[in-house]
Structure formats: C-alpha cells, structure tokens
Structure 1
Amino acid sequence: MHVVATAGHVDHGKSTLVEALTGTDPDRFAEEKARGLTIDLGFAATTLPSGAPLSLVDVPGHVRFIKNMLAGVGAVDACLFVVAATEGWKPQSEEHLRILELLGVAHGIVALTKVGVADEDLVELAHLELEERLAGTFLEGAAIVDVDAPTDVGLDDLRAALDDLLAATPTSADHGRPRLWVDRSFAAKGSGTVVTGTLTGGRLAVDDEFELHPRGDRVRVRALQNHHEARDDLPPGSRCAVNLVGVAHDDVQRGDVLVRPGRWHLTTVVDADLAVLDGLDHAVSRRGAFVAYVGAGEHPVRLRILGPDALEPGARGAVRLFLPEALPLLPGDRFVLRESGRAETVGGGEVLDVDPRERASRARPDRSVDRVVRERGWVNVDELERLTGERRDPDLGNWAVDPGALQESVAGLRERLEDAGPLGLDLALLDDRQRAVVELLDDAVVDGGHLRPADAVDTLADHPFLAALAAQPFAPPDPGDVDRGELREMVRRGTVVEQDGVFFAASGVEAAARLAARLLADDPDGFTVSAFREAAGNTRKHTLPLLARLDGTGVTRRRGDLRIGGPRLPDPD
C-alpha cells in the first residue's frame, strides 16, 4: 500500500481530481462544500489499473490552512502535484513544493488541471513554466499529465502515470516498531474512540497494546479498518482507522502518536539539520516564535543554532530544538519549521540526535550510530535501537561499546586486580560492565567467585591456621588475628568449616563423624553429649557445634538427649 498526497495552490482542482480518481468526495465538511474550498484533510482510496491499491490524502491549498496541509504530508510516500493550466504557478504552489522537499518526499508526478477551459497556447505556456519551476527539484523530469476532471480528459493517462509512480516508489519498511501519527480523532457510535493516520515502521493488529503520547495513556486496539474495510492487522504504509480502548476521543488530538510500550525513546530535546529556504528575506536566529511540524502535529519550539549565531537564507546547519512535550522521535524524522510571527515557512530538515549528550557549544550532531556509542562509551543495544532505529549485535554482553571506553575498562580492571592481593578480586564487588570485561582478561582466571591472575601463588593452600586447626581437630584455636577475608575464602573452599562461630578443619569434622560412628558401634541405642565430649577430650564450647554440624549433615540424628546414626553415618575405623 502506498499513500500519496495532493499538493498545490488553492482552487487548482485537487479535491475534484481526487473525487474523479476515487469516486469519493474528500471534502467532509459542509463549509468546505459551500465555499468550494478544502479546509482540512480529506482521504480517499482507489485501485489502479495494475491492481495496486492507492491511498490519497487531499490537503488544503489555502495559505491559512497550511498547518492542516503539513499534517497530511508527514508520512506520505509520494505526491500528486496539482497546477491549474488556467492560472499556472502560484505562491502556494511554490510553498507546497518547498515543504515537500523539506519533508524528504522524493517521488511524485504533476497533474496539469483545467486543460478543458484553457486554450492550447495557455496549456503550452503552463508546461514551459512547470519545467522551469521544477528544475533542480525532486519533480524535475517527472511525468506531467494534462487533465480535465469534469470531462474525464486525461484521467486514464493519470491513472497509468500513478501506476508507474507507485512501481518506482519504495514501500514503507517494516522494522517491527510501528508508529502512527494521529491526524483525526472522533467518536464512532457504538464503538467509542477512533483515530486515523498513516502507519509506519511496523504492523498493527487487533488486541495490540500501545501507548498514546504525549499523554502516555496505555490503550488497546479493539478494531481496525483500512478505507472502511475491517482488518485483523495492517502492514506499514497503510491508512488506518483504529478503534481504541482506554482513552476518550476528547483526550486525543491531531499530532498525538501511537507506539509500542518501551520501544521508543521519548524526547523533549533534539539536535537536527536545518535547511533555510533560499527565498527567505532574513537570517534565522534563536529569536522568533517558531513552530515545528513533526508527524501530524505542530509544536511550539525554542531554537538554538549550533555554531554560528544565525543561518542565512539558503544555508543549512545544525540546530537544537526544545519541544514542550516528550515525543517518540528517531534520527531521520523530517520536520518543517515555521515562524508564527511572520506566518512563513522558515525551512526544515531531519532529526539527527534524539538524546543529545554534548553541550550546545560543543555539539556536532550527525546520524552516525558510532557517534552515539562513542559519546556514551557503553550503551545497551536495546537502548541503542531506541536512540537510533538501528539494531546492532552487541560487542560485549548486551552492550555496544566504544573501543576507547573498552580499553579504559580493561585497564581499570587490571589495576583493581593488581591491588586486590593474594585472594584476588571478589566478583560480587564488580558491576555488570566490569563482569563482562572479565572474559577479555586471558591472563586471569575465575575461581570460586574471585578473579585471580593465572600465575598467582595460592597462599591459602598451606595457611598456618589450617595447620593449627588440624593439630587440634576437636578443640581448635580461635582465629585470632587471621585476616577475615582469608578466613572467608578458606570456608568457601571447604578447607575450614564454620559452625556457630567456631572454626574447625574439614578433616576435624570428618574425624568427629568417625568418632560418632565408633560410639554408636559400642552402644547402638545412642550416645549423650557428655559421652561425645569425654571421647573427644574437649569442652561443651566445641562439642555442641561439632554435634550440630553432624546433625545438620545427616551423620547423626537427635532423639531426646541421645544421638543416633543418621543416613550419612560413616563406617567406624
């Protein structure tokens, strides 16, 4: 599905042409019909001779309704540019053409209307003027079709030209991230809130959940239509009527936008490229009451030129725009800038950065994904997609990492490892990024939750405290001034056993289990605490923790005041 917008001066026959092509009168309001003047957007559809479906957006041509025109061309694939042979090129013809160029529209054809009421000389002059006016624009060399809609003259040729246009125009790509800018909102009897717009970026389906911004309401798609036909889902590039659950139609306005939750970066500040129209009679600076037209909405903005103090007519440069409300934008989104005080189009361009990190005095924005990564050092690939629209494979873990930042992280981790001492570096003390860097240290090993140099000498293997515990297995000494980190590591390794604040050699606990087995071999009915204490030659200070350990590990079981054999009782020596 392609969406094509009309463009051209007021009363040059855009709406009449749309009705002739589609059978649908795009003028919806009584005032439009009474005045013969399109005020707001109109929508119609047809099927071309090739079988290709075509959606048409009819926009107003009068200068007073330029904001409505801008709402209609924000997401179109191509244009049907209309010029009346009886009047030729007019001011709004020029402004509409410049607006289409600013919005990045790159495909179109021209309909030279009202040829039935113009003589041959006038029609020939109109062709010559069009060739001159369109030279150097995206419409240079485009098909120019002579049409007279009331008498059906040229309509078949126009349909054929539209077929050729759609064949040469790329369709909207599916990136799995749908976005729909609302250009109409109304209440349908028996259904509730309905919004319309042109879908881009991904598919839309019944029962999908979306967020409506800038309000942030969570909504659900109850039903979908495409040109009055019910659909279960729609691809990008479709004109959509979306029945929403979760919001009143009075709370939705033109310029609102539907996106999937969590898939877009919401921003109030963007860096952008601004091309100033060369027909402007003054430079553009930060002074002025500016309005940015993005998607289907108009937003008062503050403007800062990045670099010079002003941009001269015909110049282009980087700017920073400050929006009043957060919107889901992407690099590459197009906008038009108007100055409301002078009621004129200033220029337009494309968004470069939706989350500027550099101060305005230092910012040098572009659409480079590498720049976004470099300014952040580390960026989650999901966040990177929200910021740039590009999905990248992670460099490490789930991050895209700038080479300089990665080198710095590796060096920092090596320094911490060198300072960690013989026990190594406790991985629990590292953040997620540092843990990801560990795998890059091929001269280090991870052992029991610690990172150590691969060639490090294990100072705990013959620690003096181990020998002291082994020498007195049933009445071990207190750890005294033994380093608590070393003690915890020995416990973690299992060479030392801690029970109720008392430390035993692992071999001492095993000896205690064998002692219990001997006592039970002598008296199968069980042994008392005092019997074990006398056999071990220690005091209750050590007997009770030892017996608690034996009970806890299944070597013995407690029955009243006695200990009997458990499932893990060893054989007596």
Structure 2
Amino acid sequence: MIVGTAGHIDHGKTALVKALTGTDADRLAEEKARGITIDLGFAYADLGSGQITGFVDVPGHERLIHTMLAGAGGIDMALLVVAADDGVMPQTREHMAILDLLGMERGLVVMTKCDLADQVRRDAVAAQVRELTAPTGLRDAPVLMASTVTGEGIADLRDALSQAEAETAARHADGPLRMTVDRSFTLSGTGTVVTGTIIAGRVAVGDQVVVGPTGLSARVRGIHAQSRAATLGLAGQRCALNLAGDQITKDAIHRGDVVMAPALHAPTTRIDAMLSVLPSEPTPIGTWFPARLHSHAAELGARIVPLGDPIVPGSQGPVQIVLDRPVAAGIGDRFILRDVSAMRTIGGGRFLDLRPPARKRRAPERLALIEAARHADPARALRAMLSVAPVEMAVFARDRGLAGATAQQALDDAQGHAVGAMALSQAQLESLRDGMQTQLSQFHEENPDLAGLGREKLRLALTPRLPKEAYLVLLQSEAQAGRIVLDGAFIRQPGHEVRLTDQDQALWDRIAPSLTGPLRFRPPRVRDFATDFGVDEKEVRRVLKLTQKLGRTDQIAHDHFFARSTTSEMVAILRDVDAQSAEGWFTAPDFRDRVQNGRKVAIEILDFFDRHGVTLRRGDLRRLNPHRLDLFG
C-alpha cells in the first residue's frame, strides 16, 4: 500500500512519517536546515501486517503544490494532517480539494500536535475537519489524535494503517506495465536509476521497456520494490528501476515520464476529458482557457476547450485539452488543473479519449462517444461506444492498458463483433450487410449491362463507414458466406450475370484461346485479332470491353486485353518477385524476365497495376501494396 500525506506547511507531516517508520523523509540539506519539505520524500515500514507500506511525504507550502501533485498520483490512501493548534488552513483546503478531484475515497485524518491543545480545542478542530471533508470522498474518514512529542495516538495510527494495508486489494497486475517517474539519478557503479509508482502491470529484471513520451528504449537491470532488492515489481508498489540503454541517462528521463511496456507507447498532445471546476474558481472556463495540467508526476502547459457551454464554477462538463508538448497518458488517469501563475487549483477530472479530432470536436457523435467512455469498466465502456460508432480495438486496448485476453473478454462481454481491426455492434454489422444488398440491388437494376459496383464506391455508400482494411475483411466474409461475389474491382450479387449475345459469344470463343494459351503473357492486340478474323477493329474492341465487364478480361492498355486468369497469375508472379527482391523493391526488368515478354508490354502491365494500387511506384522501383493484392482473385 502507498500512503500519501497531505496538509498545510509545518503541520507535522514529515515528523509523523518519521514516528511511524523511523525514517526522516526530508532528504535535502536545505529541507533539514529550514525544517520544511521541499521535494517529495519517501519512507517504508512494516506496520504489523507483514507487508511493506510505502509513504510519500509531500510539501505543504502553497508554492510547492506542483510537487505535492507529483506525489499524489498513484497513492492508495491519504493521510490528511491537520495541526491541533492551527486547525484547518489554506493549504489544508487546497490539498483536500486536490484529493477529492483525484477521486480519493480511502484516508485517515490525523490531528497532530495534540500536546499543544486541550479537549475544547481538539473538538473545535475536529468540527472544522468534519465540515471540510463532508462534501468529499473522505467524508467518512476517521479522525485520529496524535503527537510526535509525547507519542500519543501513534500506536493507534499504526494499527489503523496496518489494518488498511491488510484490506488493500492488490492492483490489477496482469496488464501491460506503466510506472510513473518522480526521480531520475545516477548511482556510482550502477548507472541510471528512476523511481516511481507502478500504476499498472508488472516489471521484471531483464524486461525491455520504453520511456514515454520520448520513446527511449531501455532494459531493466535491477529492481528495488518498496525499498527492498527484488526481481519483480508489481502494480501498487513504489519501485526503483536500474535502466540501461544507448540513450538512457539521468538527464534524458524527467519527472512525469512513464516507464511502460513497448506496446503502450503512443504519446498524445490532445485529450478529451470530463472536467469538474471548483466552486472557488472566480470565472467560468471558456474556450482556449490557459492552465497548467498535472497528471501523476507530469506537469504541462495546456489550453482548455469546453465541448459545450463554458463550465461555471461548481459544475462539470466535457472538454478538450490541448497540450504544449506530448504526454504519456492512459484513459482513466486523473488530472488536476492549476492556473498558469501557480496560485490556485482550478479543477480536475479524468481522461476519456487520448485520440480526439481537432475538428468537429463538438459533433453529436463525438459528445456521445465521450459520454460512453465515462464508464470505468472496459466492457461497459465498449458496449456504450459501439452503440455510437465502430471502435478500433487495438487503440481501445492500448489506451486503457488492457492485456490481449482482457480486451477480448471486454469485446465478448460487450457482445461486439471483430471485423479486422474494428469492433462492431450487432446492429452496425446488420446495417452494413443490409446496406450492401440494397446498394447492389439498386445498382444492378439501374445498370443491368454492368458486371457490378466498384468496391470503393460501395464502401463510401455504406453506414457506418469502415476503414479500407476492415472493409476488405467484411467483403471477404460476405463473399465466403455467399451473399456477394467479388469480381476483380467490382462487387455483384450472386444472381446477377451479364450475358453476351450469340454473335458476341461466337467472336469471344475465337479470341479466348489466344488469351489463355502459351502466349497469354504477350497476347495479340485488338488490331491483330481484327486482321486475323477479318472483323472490324471497333467490333473486336466492343466485345472485349463487354468481357471486361463480365470479369473475363482486363484492359491492360488501349489495344491490349489479358484474360482475368492471366492477370491473377501475374499478381502471383509479382508476389514471388517481391519476396526475392532487396527490401521488397523490384524493377520492370525483374518482372519482364519472369513473364518473358518485351519491355514495353511489361511496363504496360506494371502501369496497369500501378493504376489499381496493386503496386506502389517510386521512380523506376516498385513494391506490392498488401492491401490490394486480392483485387484480381
């Protein structure tokens, strides 16, 4: 369990931690000289539960609220300290407001310096505390008396913390690693060490990790968990990690960075969130409101854009947060906003979407997705989001820090369907299937002489509109089910067929052997067929164009038609050429030598594939586009 102190300056937070643990959390010479905490201090002790409890001691001075915030993220329990002689003071109120904005519901209130107050004074201060905590998540927190001078109440406080330690449920440790960094330093003979709290997952010696948002790669050489040497660090523990890597130095890693599993690295500068504004804020929060954002140990400049009306003091609403630099964040992370002069706390809330659009951010669908994302349970959030729009599952799982099995369970519980990388609701899937049949029926009715509707044209006509990769998966699934037929670049219903007249069929029967025999890679041209058969060239071209609509041929160039089976065969040859080429790039001669035709015809064929997106060209080099390889069967 991690316990974080909170309270006004000089109310005895550090002395209380020392009385409980035997450790002086003030580690800086200036702190000891001035008798106040300037930076975060840490202490550890077994309070009787058999487990190690970690303490984060934070400064109480108003100018050091940013440091307090760096320690407040990731704590399991708050220790709100109020001196009996002073009572509730300005920073007591601000710290309490911050704890409430962070969603803290477990805590103890400790009235220190009780040796300086009689019973009347104690009762009066206890009443102040109850009034302060009444509207917050700590409304039911016990109020304990303590004195580090006489020892009064220290044993009772230790027992209460020990019981809380025993009741603390283990955090979810089977997901990907996320550890917030609050210190980075160098130890002689060891190297770079970072300390922080593991907020999700686990880390072991030898693991490969990434430091976000910079993306530096590192290997874990050693671990101290809860101030003890260990081979494994778990969610909920304070850890020190000895990191090694080409660019890993103490100056390359900063307070607010996150050590994470490589799969989670996806920094963002724009976040949609739900913001609660404190009643003490003097004016509503309007568009482009400047602020300082604090989340875990990170502190960044931010602009706030309400996604509705300005948010008046004492209320909440959806906002888009635009940051001045990237941050490594997760959905559900709590944040605090302070004014740019660091004089007051404005409000706080929870991150709901790490990939919001800069345009149309107030669209009804966007607002509905933000509302859906407010569910903390992944399955409930996914179900609600799927009722609005398809969801990209890889992004959903990554931004929530879900392991593969957990993400799949959320999809199953939400009764969603995986279509490629996208998740769809049953209603969305049925809408796509029904829309596909409606569009094809209408097209066939209006164009009975055409083979089918173009793939991309159909994609753009369907609701919801899928990304191309997911759309291709849907088409293949529907084709396998027999509901549609994929015919090159076209799609048709199974019962639709364009027929040639008897006269046209007779001419085609004479042409076809030349397009499918030994010379299929260099077939005769239209004018050659016209000369050989004594038929007008325009008539030959007309029939070949009809066969193209039927999916029997492809017009490679103006005067050159290839059989569709030959086109498919050439795609297979291109796959083989691609596989044998350096880094996937190949030249026209590489292809020409495989099909054994002339340079001009080979280039015509490759230009045809370029136009259809099967190949991607860069100068004289080409490579295959994996997303279009199924276009010709």
Indicate the TM-score class for this superposition, using the shorter chain for normalisation: 0.7 to 0.9
Following superposition, the deviation at residue 459 of structure 1 comes to: 5.5
2:544 maps to amino acid:
D
Following superposition, the deviation at residue 197 of structure 1 comes to: 0.6
Following superposition, the deviation at residue 161 of structure 1 comes to: 0.8
User: Separation in 1 of the partners of 2:151 and 2:133?
Assistant: 26
> Normalising by the residue count of structure 2, what TM-score does the alignment of the two structures yield?
0.70
2:158 alignment partner, SS class: helix
Partner of 1:325: 325
2:478 and 2:484 in contact (8 A); partners too? no
User: Separation in 1 of the partners of 2:422 and 2:87?
Assistant: 57
Partner of 1:254: 255
User: Separation in 1 of the partners of 2:275 and 2:497?
Assistant: 63
User: Separation in 2 of the partners of 1:108 and 1:71?
Assistant: 18
Partner of 1:382: 394
Partner of 1:444: 483
Partner of 1:435: 472
Distance 1:410 1:131, change over 3 A: same
1:150 alignment partner, SS class: coil
Partner of 1:339: 339
Partner of 1:522: none
Equivalent residues in 2 for 1:25-424 (5 A)?
25-174=24-173, 176-246=175-245, 247-286=248-287, 289-308=290-309, 310-341=310-341, 343-357=343-357, 359-362=360-363, 363-364=366-367, 365-366=370-371, 367=373, 368-369=381-382, 372-373=385-386, 377-389=389-401, 391=407, 392-393=410-411, 394-401=417-424, 406=429, 409-410=432-433, 413-414=436-437, 415=439, 418=444
User: Separation in 1 of the partners of 2:432 and 2:242?
Assistant: 50
Distance 1:453 1:94, change over 3 A: same
User: Separation in 2 of the partners of 1:412 and 1:344?
Assistant: 54
1:50 alignment partner, SS class: coil
Bigger radius of gyration, 1 or 2?
Answer: 1
Matched, 1:3 2:2: yes
User: Separation in 1 of the partners of 2:436 and 2:336?
Assistant: 48
Following superposition, the deviation at residue 266 of structure 1 comes to: 2.2
1:180 maps to amino acid:
M
Distance 1:427 1:316, change over 3 A: closer
> Normalising by the residue count of structure 1, what TM-score does the alignment of the two structures yield?
0.76
User: Separation in 2 of the partners of 1:420 and 1:294?
Assistant: 61
Following superposition, the deviation at residue 82 of structure 1 comes to: 1.1
Following superposition, the deviation at residue 89 of structure 1 comes to: 1.2
Which protein has the bigger helix share? 2
2:159 alignment partner, SS class: helix
Give the unaligned 5+ runs of structure 1: 493-500, 504-573
Following superposition, the deviation at residue 109 of structure 1 comes to: 0.9
User: Separation in 2 of the partners of 1:382 and 1:272?
Assistant: 20
2:351 alignment partner, SS class: strand
User: Separation in 1 of the partners of 2:315 and 2:431?
Assistant: 40
1:355 and 1:387 in contact (8 A); partners too? no
RMSD: 3.6
Partner of 1:568: none
User: Separation in 2 of the partners of 1:91 and 1:491?
Assistant: 82
Following superposition, the deviation at residue 457 of structure 1 comes to: 5.7
Which whole-Å deviations, capped at 9, do the CAs of 1:446-503 have from their partners, x for residues lacking one?
589786534456969x9546754899999998795443684896699xxxxxxxx999
Distance 1:471 1:53, change over 3 A: closer
Matched, 1:483 2:544: yes
Distance 1:42 1:421, change over 3 A: farther
User: Separation in 1 of the partners of 2:226 and 2:164?
Assistant: 21
Following superposition, the deviation at residue 226 of structure 1 comes to: 1.4
Which whole-Å deviations, capped at 9, do the CAs of 1:4-36 have from their partners, x for residues lacking one?
101111111111111111121110001111111
User: Separation in 1 of the partners of 2:483 and 2:214?
Assistant: 51
1:286 and 1:304 in contact (8 A); partners too? yes
User: Separation in 2 of the partners of 1:130 and 1:113?
Assistant: 13
Following superposition, the deviation at residue 422 of structure 1 comes to: 7.7
1:323 alignment partner, SS class: strand
2:19 and 2:148 in contact (8 A); partners too? yes
User: Separation in 1 of the partners of 2:91 and 2:486?
Assistant: 74
Partner of 2:493: 453
1:292 maps to amino acid:
L
User: Separation in 1 of the partners of 2:261 and 2:186?
Assistant: 23
1:278 and 1:313 in contact (8 A); partners too? yes
Distance 1:354 1:119, change over 3 A: same
Aligned residues: 493
Which whole-Å deviations, capped at 9, do the CAs of 1:277-318 have from their partners, x for residues lacking one?
11333333346541010120111111222222x332212222
User: Separation in 2 of the partners of 1:285 and 1:470?
Assistant: 71
2:5 and 2:81 in contact (8 A); partners too? yes
2:272 maps to amino acid:
D
User: Separation in 1 of the partners of 2:133 and 2:562?
Assistant: 92
1:312 alignment partner, SS class: coil
Distance 1:114 1:329, change over 3 A: same
1:184 maps to amino acid:
R
